[in-house]
Chains A and B, each alone.
Chain A
């Protein structure tokens, strides 16, 4: 027996991809390492999910339940509490090795959709120093304790980083009676969505300190205090600005990293900026038959975008056939931090290509330009672009008669009468 599509990861991306591949008639296996489907949405009990997909404000569990219900009625085979240990490429597909409570085994599949999500950056990855006490948590871990276990990891806390989960946890802990002393962000602008800054911090009078970071932690057993410092424009702490804040916990929301250890084991090339696999408009990686969806591909702001891209990846994987590819690069030019997809396959449809991009910095009154060679083929005005808010475009590339050896470049340009102006 050989599956057409094996989806690894049963969060929102994996659920959508498996469902769509099944609808397209493929024989689909969905592998999830936890006991329950839903991924990180299980612990996201706040609302705001599904505005784009369903036109409703749903909680995380409600959002994923809509997909889980469909999965249960579909032909998708499921392996829960199952951990993929190894993937081996074969002549006509892949061998996926896994373990679960029944044993260690493997299956065969023609294609793979990697929907492995992302992980949080840790205290050590942002070079926090001092002692090693208890009381330091990533925001997602704190959320697990509070929302899934009903336990308080903090009573009096400092939050480092203004990523969305950190903001959500500032509100959540406040609602549970903890004291949130402040959110400290090393960058001069917040990392989270504007709506979260308003709804999670301002509405609760929680202060946000920009251009500040936590440099040291104190406490031999449980955390007793943290040292915060102002930082300069290069994000380096400014000596003399040290301030000691007594607290029992430090919660970190300092970034998410796509989980791509399985992809790397297959030598799938990774985009240095997104930290996800380089993919084309089909969401196929540079390795034949390996697709990627959701936060494993790049970290999305909204689950709705995860679903959108995963539905497409699922559909494409179901119709996969081995053929010659002509891929040209899609590059992030000035003031763009990244563009997904990073490739266009000229042998695949180019009519409705969804492109996601992020600005490298906050800019007002700018034009997004797309250039092929010296020709600007597309221009769109934005009154404001901000790194935390991903932008999405639908572009018909078929009308530009793209050739191999060409490349597509996205860049931002300040609006002015004088053509291109770079700082």
Chain B
């Protein structure tokens, strides 16, 4: 039996109504199923990394249609634009590509359907800069993660975003589990990951004084770090704008015109754009956008994860990130049979193990994050949270962060990852379309990899454009972006000096995070000002703290209105329809 026939057989066993075919180098699944689980299983069964470009899983889920959240704006603001490059998606990948391309004299446009950059998974993750110790040497994840990780130190200096290389930890609970660490250390050597080593419990306590009582030892990976993913995203975007990139928010791609294997026009809610080349960095919709260009060879299957943010009061209990090894079973005194051990290790190292596990994460803002969990869902934009997930994460992670209680929770959020069934990045030139570059399947470790992916996309773009035009370096390119100051981290003298120059720095608006009016105004004077509560909150933190904006949001609304010269009624939380205020008092009585 051929490998294709074997696959068909397995998939038919799952659900006889699914049709399987080989088309244009892809394996294609069609039909309808009752459960999302079946569809995901079928997609996984179809994977053959060597034989096919990828899995196109078009099995419909009965009763489900994807509701695409589109911006409320409908105008012709960008109609007729003819940029050299059009980047679709203002997440980390798109903005990293934009910034890299701004090193050249090019007309670059970036469209983002959200009301701000970092609207999707780029803002909805824990901010770990990954080590990548468990990747296969031939994977794109390994290639870009390794390079991206190495770029972070310099990038954080150039773009003035927070980054700490404190190392990551994987904890084990028993001596036998050292086997997994030994295997991973061998892989680390293969992948040229430096400094990784085994720590005994005594050594572990020096790195992480509040390590859980059950921790027998740990794998320590000093190249791991932390950043604030949306601050990186904003920094990349601002620097790109400074260097000439046009970022168009609230702009969604709704279709494309192609001719002869080339994109001619890209339709948006704000007019039709005529780019020479398109970069697809559209996250959870990457397959939909690729399909518009006739270049789809993969399927994004949304994978939700929830993270819980804890008060800064407990932030001191984590300095790095601690994750329980996938083979550590807690509270289970019985000895595992050796065959079970082998099975667990195999699973831990396989592609099936799609998650690095729920972790306890230090943040650059000195909070603690617990999460994320893993949930396969049909809806690409379902960022709702639910009681079951948060309860499960809390119960599980309180075993790792033993000092934490549910009363320390200040917020939680969910993000949707965008993996392909191959569980690898798809960073490539167009296969069936000449003028598209795909950056698809970017999920964890996407935040780490994004700078390296952006660089690769820029190289390919310039090469493509040079076939038909001259592309010069941008002589005015400035790699330096200065972030807004964080006065709460300064000494009294430094702070005093700044306040003397600008008294607004001495007026505290957000008490929990100690944010001044001056810092908020700075954010609004940045190269990419976004006059919404959420955008200000992400950039300088008013409302991020334990009162969640209870005290400061009316003040921030007033500052925004004043700075923009509009009524407070016009200030939104995020998108056009996310009103905060519904008119004046007495109005309804008139």
Interfacial residues of chain B within 378-401, with CB under 8 A of chain A in the complex: 383-387, 390
Across the two chains, which residue of chain A brings its CB closest to B488? Answer: A85
In the complex, what residues of B have CB within 8 A of residue A151's CB?
A: 568-569, 581, 583-585
Q: B508 touching A152 by the CB < 8 A rule? A: no
B551, CB-defined interface residue at 8 Å: yes
Across the two chains, which residue of chain B brings its CB closest to A122? Answer: B548
Across the two chains, which residue of chain B brings its CB closest to A152? Answer: B582
Interfacial residues of chain A within 186-201, with CB under 8 A of chain B in the complex: none
Binds A, one of B9-17, B142-150, B442-450, B493-501: B493-501
In the complex, what residues of A have CB within 8 A of residue B260's CB?
A: none
Q: B581 touching A176 by the CB < 8 A rule? A: no
Given contacts A151-B581, A151-B584, contact A124 B496 (CB under 8 A): no
Across the two chains, which residue of chain A brings its CB closest to B580? Answer: A134
A62, CB-defined interface residue at 8 Å: no
Q: In whole angstroms, what is the CA distance A97 to B588 when docked?
A: 47
In the complex, what residues of B have CB within 8 A of residue A176's CB?
A: 585-586, 588-589
Q: A221 touching B574 by the CB < 8 A rule? A: yes
Q: A120 touching B550 by the CB < 8 A rule? A: yes
B79, CB-defined interface residue at 8 Å: no
**Total interface residues in chain A, CB < 8 Å:** 51
A127, CB-defined interface residue at 8 Å: yes
> What is the minimal beta-carbon distance from A212 to any residue of chain B, in angstroms?
16
Tell me which of B549, B558, B581, B582 has the highest count of chain A C-beta atoms within 10 A of its own C-beta.
B582
Q: In whole angstroms, what is the CA distance A45 to B54 when docked?
A: 65
User: Which residues of A does B touch, CB under 8 Å?
Assistant: 33, 81, 83, 85, 97, 99-106, 119-120, 122-125, 127, 129-135, 138, 140-141, 144-146, 148-155, 176-178, 215-216, 220-222, 248, 264
Q: B496 touching A104 by the CB < 8 A rule? A: yes
Partner of A150, one of B411, B573, B585: B585
Q: B548 touching A99 by the CB < 8 A rule? A: no
Q: In whole angstroms, what is the CA distance A130 to B387 when docked?
A: 9
Q: A97 touching B492 by the CB < 8 A rule? A: yes
Tell me which of A106, A132, A215, A216 has the highest count of chain B C-beta atoms within 10 A of its own C-beta.
A132
Between-chain CB contacts (< 8 Å), 6 pairs: A33-B511, A103-B495, A104-B495, A133-B573, A144-B554, A220-B575
Given contacts A125-B410, A221-B578, contact A102 B554 (CB under 8 A): no
> What is the minimal beta-carbon distance from B305 to any residue of chain A, in angstroms?
15
B546, CB-defined interface residue at 8 Å: yes
Q: In whole angstroms, what is the CA distance A129 to B389 when docked?
A: 10
Tell me which of B516, B549, B550 has the highest count of chain A C-beta atoms within 10 A of its own C-beta.
B550
In the complex, what residues of B have CB within 8 A of residue A177's CB?
A: 586-589
> What is the minimal beta-carbon distance from A35 to any residue of chain B, in angstroms?
9
Given contacts A129-B385, A131-B384, A144-B554, contact A124 B548 (CB under 8 A): yes
Q: In whole angstroms, what is the CA distance A178 to B504 when docked?
A: 36
Partner of A122, one of B488, B547, B582: B547
Q: Is the interface of B mostly helix, strand, loop or mixed?
A: mixed
Q: A102 touching B499 by the CB < 8 A rule? A: yes
Q: B496 touching A105 by the CB < 8 A rule? A: yes
Q: In whole angstroms, what is the CA distance A131 to B580 when docked?
A: 16
> What is the minimal beta-carbon distance from B220 to any residue of chain A, in angstroms?
32
> What is the minimal beta-carbon distance from B371 to any residue of chain A, in angstroms?
14
Across the two chains, which residue of chain A brings its CB closest to B408? Answer: A125
Partner of A134, one of B507, B578, B586: B578
Partner of B550, one of A106, A122, A127, A155: A122
In the complex, what residues of B have CB within 8 A of residue A146's CB?
A: 585
> What is the minimal beta-carbon distance from A311 to any residue of chain B, in angstroms?
26
> What is the minimal beta-carbon distance from A217 to any residue of chain B, in angstroms?
9
In the complex, what residues of B have CB within 8 A of residue A132's CB?
A: 383, 413
Q: B579 touching A134 by the CB < 8 A rule? A: yes
Q: In whole angstroms, what is the CA distance A176 to B574 when docked?
A: 26
Q: A104 touching B548 by the CB < 8 A rule? A: no
Across the two chains, which residue of chain B brings its CB closest to A133? Answer: B578
> What is the minimal beta-carbon distance from A98 to any residue of chain B, in angstroms?
9
In the complex, what residues of A have CB within 8 A of residue B521's CB?
A: none
Interface size class of B (residues with CB under 8 A): 35 or more
Q: A119 touching B584 by the CB < 8 A rule? A: no
> What is the minimal beta-carbon distance from A114 to any residue of chain B, in angstroms?
14
Across the two chains, which residue of chain A brings its CB closest to B511? Answer: A33
> What is the minimal beta-carbon distance from B70 to any residue of chain A, in angstroms?
10
> What is the minimal beta-carbon distance from B370 to any residue of chain A, in angstroms?
14
Q: In whole angstroms, what is the CA distance A274 to B486 when docked?
A: 34
In the complex, what residues of A have CB within 8 A of residue B487's CB?
A: 99
Q: A125 touching B514 by the CB < 8 A rule? A: no
In the complex, what residues of B have CB within 8 A of residue A122's CB?
A: 410, 547-548, 550
Q: B578 touching A129 by the CB < 8 A rule? A: no
In the complex, what residues of B have CB within 8 A of residue A150's CB?
A: 584-586
In the complex, what residues of B have CB within 8 A of residue A102's CB?
A: 499, 503, 506
In the complex, what residues of A have CB within 8 A of residue B69's CB?
A: 220
Q: In whole angstroms, what is the CA distance A101 to B495 when docked?
A: 11
Nearest 6 CB-CB pairs, A to B? A177-B588, A134-B573, A83-B508, A221-B578, A101-B503, A221-B577
Q: In whole angstroms, what is the CA distance A102 to B386 when docked?
A: 46
In the complex, what residues of A have CB within 8 A of residue B514's CB?
A: 83, 85
Q: In whole angstroms, what is the CA distance A134 to B574 when docked?
A: 8
Q: A152 touching B588 by the CB < 8 A rule? A: yes
Tell me which of B384, B583, B586 has the highest count of chain A C-beta atoms within 10 A of its own C-beta.
B384
B409, CB-defined interface residue at 8 Å: yes
11 new A-B contacts at CB < 8 Å, known A130-B385, A151-B568: A101-B506, A103-B500, A104-B493, A120-B550, A134-B533, A138-B550, A140-B550, A144-B554, A176-B585, A178-B588, A221-B576
Q: B577 touching A222 by the CB < 8 A rule? A: yes
Q: B582 touching A154 by the CB < 8 A rule? A: yes
In the complex, what residues of A have CB within 8 A of residue B553's CB?
A: 141
Q: A103 touching B589 by the CB < 8 A rule? A: no
Q: B551 touching A119 by the CB < 8 A rule? A: yes
> What is the minimal beta-carbon distance from B552 to any residue of chain A, in angstroms?
9
B412, CB-defined interface residue at 8 Å: yes
Interfacial residues of chain B within 551-569, with CB under 8 A of chain A in the complex: 551, 553-554, 558, 568-569
Q: B581 touching A124 by the CB < 8 A rule? A: no
In the complex, what residues of B have CB within 8 A of residue A85's CB?
A: 488, 514
> What is the minimal beta-carbon distance from B109 to any residue of chain A, in angstroms?
26
Q: In whole angstroms, what is the CA distance A101 to B500 when docked?
A: 8
